[in-house]
């Protein structure tokens, strides 16, 4: 597999960042996720996985970074500055210039990104083990004193490494947004940069939210999607729960897919969303002169959830909207 082919595979897998997967998804990826074009993501035999035909590590797996009580290789994970994340990852014991350790140094030297995986549910538990795909990271350095590689995720360097796989800046911004789903939701854009441009970031947000909600309104489930050779017509819109002007980030957890009518009503506080993700219609609606305006019938109805739980609306964002936008009387 060439570096470009590898980049295309990792770009495809970005839609699963922040999600928990089974061992079968990692070990038999060709069957579980054929679009990735990989026989496997990780063998789960040892922490560092390097395909036989590659000089580079494809992925690393950690148990201790997710809180395992006992682990031979102590790894740590923490949120970094400006919306990034860091992992200090222990190499295989033994010499650093052989085997998979050497392949990690090759990734560091050539700025080749690797996929980071942690155990979130150990084996022999009900339902079986689960493994979270944290996202992509660059091997930024090696600390001899602590004997750890420094992995940095959610950085512009990751997107730069994927540029051979796509000509779309929107694709790169989407990878960056998905790479940040494992971090706590933050009000206020935590980054001072975009991997491509602000316009591409906005388009990535729109595309992610609409795809997560299957191009449907999360309130009324209406949908209009017309794919033509020259354009695609979609009636639904990606609404920010906290407006951009109020510090709302382009984070899918700050988004809802809404038809244009309900987007307008949401932005004007005619309804809000409760902590149980139900519609709460404002009392002000009953005072309005209206005809064939559907809204009150959705009071206390559950929102349609996104495809992936990692993109569920942030309770912090929902509370902000209820406190600052919703017409409570």
DSSP 186-249: -SS---S--SS-HHHHHHHHHHHHHHHTTTS-TTT----EEE-SS-EEE--EEEESS-GGGT--
Pairing of β 232-234 and β 85-89: unpaired
pLDDT confidence of residue 70: 52
Long-range contacts of 40-47 (CB under 8 A, 24+ apart): 41/13, 41/115, 41/117, 41/133, 42/115, 42/117, 42/131, 44/131, 46/92, 46/100, 47/73, 47/89, 47/90, 47/92
Is 118 a residue whose pLDDT tops 80? yes
Q: Which of 255, 17, 31, 36 is nearest to 117 (CA)?
A: 17
List the chain domain ranges.
Answer: 3-179, 213-324
Helix, strand, coil: what percent of the chain each, to 5? 35, 20, 45
* Whole-number percent of the chain with pLDDT over 70: 96
* CA–CA gap between residue 140 and residue 269 (Å, rounded): 45
* CA–CA gap between residue 101 and residue 235 (Å, rounded): 51
The average pLDDT across 66-95 equals: 79
Q: Which of 134, 132, 172 is nearest to 153 (CA)?
A: 134
Residues 29-62: tens digit of each pLDDT: 999 999 999 999 999 999 999 999 899 999 999 9
* pTM, two decimal places: 0.87
Planar angle of CA 58, 179, 273, nearest 5 degrees: 145
What is the sign, positive or negative, of the torsion defined by CA atoms of 72, 141, 134, 103? negative
Split at pLDDT 50, 70, 90, the class of 1 is confident
* CA–CA gap between residue 216 and residue 194 (Å, rounded): 28
Planar angle of CA 114, 82, 62, nearest 5 degrees: 35
- At 158 the three-state DSSP class reads helix
Split at pLDDT 50, 70, 90, the class of 26 is very high
Pairing of β 114-121 and β 59-62: parallel
Which range has the worst mean pLDDT, 141-150, 177-186, 235-244?
177-186
- Tokens matching residue 71: 């682990």
Indicate the Cα dihedral angle 328, 185, 119, 144, nearest 10°. -160
Is residue 116 a contact partner of residue 87, using CB atoms and an 8 Å limit? yes
pLDDT confidence of residue 58: 97
Is residue 18 a contact partner of residue 85, using CB atoms and an 8 Å limit? no
Indicate the Cα dihedral angle 302, 306, 310, 312, nearest 10°. -30
pLDDT confidence of residue 281: 98
Report the 10 Å Cβ neighbour count for 100. 15
* CA–CA gap between residue 269 and residue 326 (Å, rounded): 4
Is residue 2 a contact partner of residue 29, using CB atoms and an 8 Å limit? no
- Helix (H) / strand (E) element for 160: namely helix 156-162
Is residue 66 a contact partner of residue 20, using CB atoms and an 8 Å limit? no
């Amino acid at each position: 597999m060439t570096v470009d082919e590898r980049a295309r595979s990792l770009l495809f897998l970005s839609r699963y960042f922040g999600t928990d997967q089974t061992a079968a998804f990692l070990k038999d990826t060709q069957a579980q996720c054929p679009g990735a074009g990989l026989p496997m993501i990780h063998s789960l035999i040892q922490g560092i996985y390097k395909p036989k035909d590659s000089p580079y590590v494809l992925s690393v797996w950690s148990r201790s970074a997710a809180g395992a009580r006992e682990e031979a290789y102590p790894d740590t994970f923490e949120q970094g500055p400006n919306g990034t994340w860091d992992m200090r990852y222990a190499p295989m014991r033994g010499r650093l210039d052989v085997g998979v350790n050497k392949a990690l140094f090759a990734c560091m030297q050539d700025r080749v990104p690797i996929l980071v995986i942690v155990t979130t549910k150990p084996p022999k538990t009900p339902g079986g083990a689960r493994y979270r795909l944290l996202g992509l990271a660059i091997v930024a350095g090696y600390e001899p004193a602590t004997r750890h590689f420094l992995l940095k995720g959610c950085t512009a360097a990751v997107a730069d490494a994927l540029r051979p796989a796509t000509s779309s800046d929107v694709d790169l911004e989407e990878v960056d947004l998905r790479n940040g789903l494992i971090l706590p939701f933050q009000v206020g854009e935590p980054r001072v940069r975009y991997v491509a441009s602000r316009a591409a970031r906005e388009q990535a947000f729109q595309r992610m939210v609409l795809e997560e909600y299957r191009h449907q309104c999360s309130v009324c489930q209406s949908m209009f999607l017309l794919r033509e050779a020259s354009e695609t017509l979609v009636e639904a819109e990606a609404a920010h729960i906290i407006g951009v002007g109020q510090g709302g980030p382009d984070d899918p957890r700050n988004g809802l897919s809404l038809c244009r009518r309900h987007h307008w009503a949401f932005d004007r506080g005619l309804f809000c969303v409760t902590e149980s993700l139900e519609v709460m219609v404002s009392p002000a609606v009953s005072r309005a002169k209206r005809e064939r305006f559907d809204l009150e019938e959705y009071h206390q109805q559950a929102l349609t959830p996104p495809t992936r739980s990692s993109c569920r609306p942030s309770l912090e964002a929902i509370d902000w909207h209820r406190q600052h936008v919703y017409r409570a009387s």
